[in-house]
Each structure stands twice: as C-alpha cells, then as structure tokens.
C-alpha cells in the first residue's frame, strides 16, 4: 500500500480533567487541507487502530495506562480516549502511535494534569482565552500561555471563525491566508478544513500540548449571532439545522470533549470541580437560547442549583459573553442585546442569589476588562456580588471602543486594556488572583508578552494586586 504520509499534522490535545482522568485527543490527517469530501484529512475509508500511552514521566518510562482506540471516518478519524484510573492533582504525559503505511508511527507527547481530589485545598492555576481569528494574526499569545504550563486552559468561544475571505479586508484584518478556497463554512467538509487550518498552527498546537483544555463555544463555531436552532438572519431554519449539526460535529472532532454530538445536539454545559478551591460551571449560551432565555430553562435551573449547592471557595462561571451591565454612551442601542444585558432578569437571579465567591470569566468583545458584579446593576448602592474578568482576544481585531466613556458610565467596571492576550488566574481557598497578559502585536510572529495588570478578589470586590 502507498505511504499515507505523516498522520499527526493536527497535533495532540487533552481536556475535561477530572480527579481520576482526562480525555486525550488526536486526529489522523496526513492531508489536513485535502478537499476530497470522501477522504477527510486524506484518510482512506477504513477504521485505523491508534495506540495510546499515558505515563508519569516525559520519557515514557513509567507508563500507567495504555490501549488501542479506533479512528473511524465517521468522525474524521479523530480519537477521543477517556483515560481513567489516574491520580488526582497530578501531571501526566500522553502520546499516540499508528502502524504502516504511515510515514511516522509516534505522535508528539502532550502534558496533561488531573483535577485535585474532592476535599483537596490545592489551588488551581488556570488561563483563559477566547476569539482566535486565524486570518487576523499570529497566535503568539497562545505560545506564551503554553510556556506558563497552567493546570488547565479555559477556552471561552470563537475557537474558529466561519467567515470566508472578505472582499476588501481592512488594515490588520487579513494577515494570514485561510484554507483554499477561502469560503464561508457551511458544510461538514468546510468546517473540518477550517479546524484543520487552525490546528496546523504551531502556537495553537503548543498550547494544547501544554495543558488540558476545558472549552465552550460562542457563535462563530457555527454562524455569527445564531440563536438556538435559528440562524439569526431569517434564512431557512431547516437548512440552518443541518449546518449547525455539521458545525457541532466538526467542533467535537477537533476538541478533547467527553461527549459526542447526537441528533438533538451536543451537551456543553457541565461542572468541573477542582477540590475545595473552585467549581467551574461551564455554560452554553447559544444552543438552547430563546427570545426569553440565554441558557434555556433546563440549563438555568441546573446553574442555580449548582451555585446553591457548591461548597467550593470560588464558583467560576465559564462562558463567552460580557456578564456585567455595560452601558455604552451615545446613540442607542446603549446596551447590547446579544450579551447578558439582553437577559437582565436571569442575570439578577444569579447575582442576587447571595453566592459567596462568584467569579465570571468571559470574552467576546476582543478587549480586556475587569469589574465587579452588582446584585442590581441599576442601583449604584447595590452590594457587590462577585467579580468579572473579561479576557481580550487571542488575535481577533476589536471594534472601536471609547473605553474612557464606558468606564465613566459604568462605575462597577474598573479596568480596560486594548491589546490582544490572555488571562492567568490562581484560585485557592485563601484567595483569587488574576493577571492580564498582553502581546504588543499579532500581525507578525514573535511579540514579547507583558503583564498589563493584576487583581485580587477581596470580599466580592476587586483590588489591585502586585504582579
Ligand atoms: Fe470573537
């Protein structure tokens, strides 16, 4: 049989850490941008056995788990192995192997880490990122994030953008080429190749190799501003349901998720406990959205019950959208209907529930912000109800923002930074700290990284922190 080429062009990844296990991922794609829909990734239509190993050491001398998975064309020859039986709060290394007729047999190794045991007081050090638009720039921020080797990486949506090449790109808005033919994604093959384009990026691969990821999506994994089963632009709902199903499948095929999509969708909202330090409550703000509810009734009830039942010091809402009130002075609309300002009743149920240690992490707006939550944002005397850290984009260009006017009109917001970057946080039983990292440029590789600001949380308020 002819040599099939190098199979691990998309790297390796891990995710969904629990105290006793993680998911490890790869996808065989010797031709990652191949355009034959019958051979996704340039793979033949057969099941390929993929060996996997998990070791305690980087040299794979102390292997603790191993096995063989089946890579099937049905899932674009992606492999998601649920590894269990691991020790809590521990580093592990993993890799994959294939036999002939591939040109190489062993993948690069990734480093992962399990969550701490249920009663553990170990702090968790995590980073969060969002909005990595490939054509807007280089993923240098992810390279610096990888160097920090956090315990986990939270991805808050816009992992890919569905857009094709714009007819007349503005300055800084087309510095890297998408995969040919540079069209907007609508079909499974197009979404697969868009993920493959992103995943061939060495900085993104490094960030996946460095730590387990816990991801949730926003809109651009499918289509700009879609809501639930509706496209958001009035076009044919039946065609959009097929498009959404294709997009969800490609998302699953390229991320280390525990759960597969079914005919009805893909469950994204979930709870990831980190001992007594933090509960991560991962939200899905798109799939179940209606005109009346951002999350849909079932997810709303789940979240309120989880918040009420959490014994962890910090309850971290992991979700894409600006949560605090953000009044933008000038001509209306002054509040954005697509963010939580469009759903103030449920937001008040969260901020008014008396939750101690509520921390919201978010993205979407392509600039960095930080602020305090209020039980009632309309009342300046309302008590603080937690904090929000809004991370900047990895590369996506921001809209023009009069940040001074927004900060003046929203006294609960305390910080703005207009550079691209990410945020790294430490959540422990005795404190929460966040450091904003920023890169100087993304239109070419090699930017240094700087710390833009640091904050701690004290009595549900934001205080400056030495960095
Ligand atoms: Fe975005």
pLDDT tens digits for range 299-315: 999 999 999 999 999 99
pLDDT band at residue 54 under the 50/70/90 scheme? very high
- Ligand 1 centre to CA of 394 (Å) is 9
The confidence score (pLDDT) of residue 466 equals 80
CA of 285 to the centre of ligand 1 (A): 14
Question: Binning pLDDT at 50, 70 and 90, where does residue 193 land?
Answer: very high
Contact 26, 107 (CB under 8 A): yes
How many angstroms is it from 363 CA to the middle of ligand 1? 8
pLDDT tens-digit profile of 161-178?
Answer: 999 998 999 988 999 999
Give dist(CA 232, CA 225) in Å, integer: 6
Measuring CA to CA, which residue among 12, 37, 190 is closest to residue 95?
12
Measured between alpha carbons, how far is 109 from 59 in angstroms, rounded to an integer?
9
| Cα(395) to centroid(ligand 1), Å | 9
Interval between CA 130 and ligand 1 midpoint (Å)? 7
Compute, in angstroms, the gap from residue 158 CA to the centroid of ligand 1.
Answer: 5
Q: What's the pLDDT score for residue 40?
A: 96
pLDDT band of residue 72 (cuts 50, 70, 90) is very high
Task: Please give the mean pLDDT across all residues of the chain.
Answer: 96
Q: Indicate if the pLDDT at residue 104 is higher than 90.
A: no
Q: What is the DSSP letter of 12?
A: E
pLDDT above 70 coverage of the chain, percent:
100
The side-by-side arrangement of strands in the sheet containing 413-417 is 270-274, 278-282, 314-318, 358-362, 384-390, 368-374, 413-417
DSSP 135-192: GG---HHHHHHHHH--SEEEEES-SS------SSPPTTS-SSPPSTT-PPP-SHHHHH
Pairing of strands 278-282, 270-274: antiparallel
- Decide if pLDDT at 467 tops 90: no
Beta carbons of 295 and 346 less than 8 angstroms apart: yes
Helix (H) or strand (E) holding 369: strand 368-374
Rounded distance from Cα 139 to ligand 1 centre (Å): 14
* pLDDT on residue 389: 98
pLDDT at 453: 98
- Residue 83 Cα to ligand 1 midpoint, Å, equals 32
Q: Does the structure show a pLDDT above 80 at 380?
A: no
**What whole-number distance in Å separates Cα of residue 355 and Cα of residue 308?**
7
Across the range 451-455, mean pLDDT stands at 98
Give 351 Cα–ligand 1 centroid separation in angstroms.
Answer: 25
Give the model's pLDDT for residue 157.
Answer: 98
84 C-alpha to ligand 1 centroid (Å): 34
* Ligand 1 midpoint to CA 193 (Å): 19
* Dist. CA 109 → ligand 1 center (Å): 30
Q: Is residue 96 within 8 Å of residue 32, measured between CB atoms?
A: no
**Is residue 342 helix, strand or coil?**
helix
212 alpha-carbon distance from chain centroid: 11
Check: CB of residue 186 under 8 Å from CB of residue 224.
Answer: no
- Whole-number Å distance, alpha carbon 118 to ligand 1 midpoint, is 34
Per residue in 391-450, pLDDT (tens digit) is 999 999 999 999 999 999 999 999 999 999 999 999 999 999 999 999 999 999 999 999
CATH of domain 1-114: 2.60.40.380
Q: How far apart are CA 300 and CA 175, in angstroms?
A: 40
Alpha-carbon distance of 205 to 134, in angstroms, equals 13
Distance 393 CA to ligand 1 centre (A): 7
Burial status of residue 466 (CB atoms within 10 A of its CB: 0-12, 13-18, 19 or more): exposed
Distance from Cα 360 to the centre of ligand 1, integer Å = 17
What is the Å distance from ligand 1's center to 155 Cα?
A: 12
Which residue reads 């093959």 in tokens? 189
Structure tokens at 407: 């900060």
Domain boundaries defined on the chain: 1-114, 117-464
Q: Give me ligand 1 centre to Cα 338, in Å.
A: 13
d(CA 25, CA 208): 10
Centre of ligand 1 to C-alpha 366, Å, is: 6
C-alpha of residue 216 to centroid of ligand 1, in Å:
13
CA 365 to ligand 1 centroid distance, Å: 7
CA 216 to chain centre: 5
CA of 348 relative to ligand 1 center, distance in Å = 25
pLDDT of residue 381: 86
**Is residue 139 very low, low, confident or very high in pLDDT (cuts 50, 70, 90)?**
very high
pLDDT number for residue 103: 81
Q: Is the pLDDT of residue 71 over 70?
A: yes
- Tokens representing 280 are 């991560």
| Two tokens, residue 129 | 């990122």
How confident is the model over 95-99, as a mean pLDDT?
96
Kindly tell me the sign of the dihedral angle through the C-alpha atoms of 138, 140, 143, 145. negative
**pLDDT at residue number 1:** 58
For residues 374 and 381, give the distance between their C-alpha atoms in angstroms, rounded to a whole number. Answer: 9
End-to-end CA distance of the chain: 57
CA of 157 relative to ligand 1 center, distance in Å:
7
Nearest-CA neighbor of 212 among 294, 110, 302, 342?
110
What proportion of the chain, given as a percentage, has pLDDT over 90? Answer: 94
Instruction: Output the CATH code of domain 117-464.
Output: 3.60.21.70
């Amino acid at each position: 049989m002819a040599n099939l080429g190098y199979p691990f062009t998309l790297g390796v990844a891990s995710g969904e850490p629990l105290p006793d296990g993680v998911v490890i991922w790869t996808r065989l794609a010797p031709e990652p941008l191949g355009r034959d829909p019958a051979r996704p990734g340039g793979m033949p239509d057969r099941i390929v056995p993929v060996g996997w190993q998990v070791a305690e050491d980087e040299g794979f001398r102390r292997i603790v788990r191993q096995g063989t998975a089946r890579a099937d064309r049905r899932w674009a020859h992606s492999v998601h192995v649920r590894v269990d039986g691991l020790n809590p709060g521990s580093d592990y290394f993993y890799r994959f192997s294939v036999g002939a007729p591939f040109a190489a047999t062993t993948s690069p190794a990734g480093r992962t880490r399990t969550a701490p045991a249920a009663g553990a007081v170990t702090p968790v050090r995590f980073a969060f990122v969002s909005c990595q638009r490939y054509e807007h720039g280089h993923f240098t921020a992810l390279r610096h994030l990888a160097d920090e080797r956090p315990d986990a990486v939270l991805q808050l949506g816009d992992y890919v953008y569905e857009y094709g090449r714009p007819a007349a790109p503005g300055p800084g808005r087309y510095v890297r080429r998408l995969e040919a033919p540079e069209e907007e994604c609508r079909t499974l093959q197009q979404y697969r190749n868009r993920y493959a384009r992103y995943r061939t990026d060495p900085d993104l691969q490094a960030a996946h190799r460095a730590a387990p990821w816990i991801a949730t999506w926003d809109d651009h994994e499918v289509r700009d501003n879609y809501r639930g089963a509706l496209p958001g632009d009035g076009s044919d709902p039946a065609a959009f349901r097929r498009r959404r199903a294709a997009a969800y499948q490609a998302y699953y095929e390229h991320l280390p998720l525990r759960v597969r999509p079914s005919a009805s969708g893909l469950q994204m909202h979930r709870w990831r406990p980190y001992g007594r330090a933090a509960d991560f409550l991962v939200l899905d703000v798109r799939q179940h959205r209606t005109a009346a509810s951002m999350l849909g009734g079932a997810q709303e009830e789940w979240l309120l019950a989880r918040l009420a039942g959490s014994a962890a010091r910090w309850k971290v809402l992991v979700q894409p959208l600006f949560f605090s009130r953000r009044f933008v002075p000038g001509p209306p609309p002054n509040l954005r209907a697509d963010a939580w300002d469009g759903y103030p009743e449920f937001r008040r149920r969260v901020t008014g529930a008396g939750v101690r240690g509520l921390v919201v992490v978010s993205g979407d707006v392509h600039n960095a912000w930080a602020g305090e939550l209020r039980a009632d944002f309309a009342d300046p005397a309302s008590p603080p109800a937690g904090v929000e850290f809004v991370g900047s984009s990895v590369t996506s260009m921001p809209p023009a923002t009069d940040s001074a006017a927004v900060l003046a009109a929203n006294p609960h917001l305390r910080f703005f930074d207009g550079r691209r970057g990410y945020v790294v946080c430490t959540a422990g039983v005795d404190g929460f700290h966040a450091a904003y990292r920023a890169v100087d440029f993304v239109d070419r590789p090699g930017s240094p990284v700087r710390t833009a600001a640091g904050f701690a949380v004290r009595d549900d308020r934001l205080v400056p922190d030495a960095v």
